[in-house]
Structure 1
């Protein structure tokens, strides 16, 4: 009887050693891939068994049972991070598990451009192939609610930048980051504003910055363009800036601003309504916001585009009309 127990014990040890040896061999053998590089996604909340199944379905040639066993032996089974990953040939199961527990996800990017309006932002999100389009079908107000934004209108509330994200991330996550970034920039720049500006709130400065952004052809002109708008506000003059009229026309604008458009009253027509428009008209960058908060000192009241990206600034209406004749009507006064 004792001899039988001893033999069983020896067999068990041999079995354990064999299993351990097999697992060790498996751990260091390169896995087969359907293609290289290969992209795959680990879904949130997946157990180790589900992870193994997702890997096989994605085209990674691992034995699920052995991978689960290796993850448990190496104490990595509960550390797998969801996300999108990219792997190449030569990867071993041990390296694969290390990648998944590090959360070494593959990243995509999306650029939100200075001067875009929110309609353009949504279009860029909708056509990005690496995003999960959770905002589809939502109204602007519903999007603001979903991202936790304390705002009534989305325009100008998102910071233009290049955003990196794991593939299959939600477009709402990108918007949430862009919203928080703009809030942070406003909170940083608002206390640094010049004295005596005609703004009651940081939102007023954001609106002004959006006008500066849309009217700027050359970066060096931003502080003077801001100066013109601020001088006109102080003098009780209409701002009379075409980009606000165009914004008020909405998606129906065909690229040709007509005289009838300038006299058609909308909340955004600064030829018919005094003061700032009710909301920003685009996403301003940091430079435009700084120009709105620290405009260059001047007595200019007018400007016109020269056609080369720069602007001609004038103090009087007569000088402005001559500049318009020179640069817009293409004739000598």
Structure 2
């Protein structure tokens, strides 16, 4: 029998040898290419994984998922970085500190809660913390003229903090930061929109409101202005609270002047707004029968002078008007059209009665009779 590479005569068959050599070479070449390609892929993948493991920062990109982080008051760049690492926002505190220190605006990052993305670059994290759109807001708006109990009801509805906790916090006005002349927080918890944070307490919210009152009072020179009018700050705030309930903004200075005229002349103010407070009746609802005979220092139909304190929380416009009354001989005012807010003033009671008649006639045809005689 002839061998694999022999012909029938027992001689080497070079054609067979060449054929099998070419086949073997092709197999070896294919195997080399296959192994070489696998090694190339492995080498590149291994290198990329090693780079990822040893890198201090994530690559810039869209991130993986939303996440909220809270930065406490007074947190340093290092502390912020630690919080971001814990929430997988950035890869390392070191990389974040580099980005933080490179951005000259980074020092202005405020305490609060932010919506970020996980696995983003440190420079992206800094930019997002500087973007107001990233801030998770928790706001509450307190309208002007609300009584303190209504402010507390609104805050309870927003925060679910029990009303009793607000009442307890308000018992000590000075603990909230209000001036010594404030004996009751009624009227001094300033109405505006507040950012109350993610975990507010009754005291923290009322402290914000007291702080804003102090700011407004300082801006308007309330104490100095009160002294010039020969009044004290509580009297000014009481007048401002009446203006908030009784007058449109444009008429407030004139109405303030009328109130002072009547006080200076020793006349009763005779205001429904104070009787609303005395009887705990919501503004716009009918007052109870016999309200003018009620024995209350807030019943200005019986009592002389101002009530003991504010009947609600006035805004800056009303406070400014109370400090800057218009001088006139007027002693009366009445809004004769609630839709337009038209208010008429009078020096004498007879003139006032004519204006009251005009108001009563308007009430007869008004669609909304809130505030009209029952």
Q: What's the TM-score once normalised by structure 1's chain length?
A: 0.72
Partner of 2:112: 83
Counterpart contact for 1:83–1:103, Cα < 8 Å = no
Total equivalences in the alignment: 298
CA RMSD of aligned residues (A): 4.0
From the superposition, tell whether residues 120 and 297 of structure 1 become closer, same or farther in structure 2 (CA, over 3 Å).
same
Name the CA distance, whole Å, in 2 between partners of 1:45 and 1:29: 29
Alpha-carbon offset, residue 85 of structure 1: 1.1
**Distance in 2 of aligned mates of 1:292 and 1:162:** 23
1:230 is aligned to: 260
In structure 1, C-alpha distance between the alignment counterparts of 2:112 and 2:275, rounded to whole Å: 44
| Deviation (angstroms), 1:212 | 1.1
Structure 2: distance between partners of 1:53 and 1:318? 77
The C-alpha deviation readout for 1:163-192, integer Å capped at 9, x for no partner, is 335444445434323212222332333366
Where does structure 2 lack aligned partners over 5 or more consecutive residues? 1-46, 101-106, 365-374
Q: Is the 8 A contact 2:56 2:94 kept in 1?
A: no
What does residue 290 of structure 1 align with?
A: 320
Higher RCO, 1 vs 2 (CA within 8 Å, ≥6 residues apart): 1
Given that 1:240 and 1:270 are in contact with CA atoms closer than 8 Å, whether structure 2 keeps it comes out as yes
Q: How does 1:1-333 map to 2 (within 5 A)?
A: 18=50, 22-24=54-56, 26=58, 28=60, 30-33=62-65, 36=66, 38-41=67-70, 51=83, 55=87, 62=88, 67=91, 70-72=92-94, 74-75=96-97, 83-87=112-116, 92-95=120-123, 98=126, 105-128=135-158, 133=161, 137-140=165-168, 141-142=170-171, 144=173, 146-150=175-179, 151-170=182-201, 172-187=203-218, 188-190=220-222, 193=225, 197-199=229-231, 201-216=232-247, 218-250=248-280, 255-307=285-337, 308-328=340-360
Cα 1:48–1:98 change in 2 (3 A) is closer
Unpaired runs of at least 5, structure 1: 1-14, 56-61
**1:210-259, CA deviations, whole angstroms, 9 ceiling, x for partnerless residues?**
1111101x322111111111111011111111111111122688921134
SS at match of 2:213: helix
Structure-2 change in CA distance of 1:102 and 1:189 (3 Å): same
Question: Partner of 1:227: helix, strand, or coil?
Answer: helix
- Structure 2: distance between partners of 1:309 and 1:297: 21
**TM-score (norm. length: structure 2):** 0.65
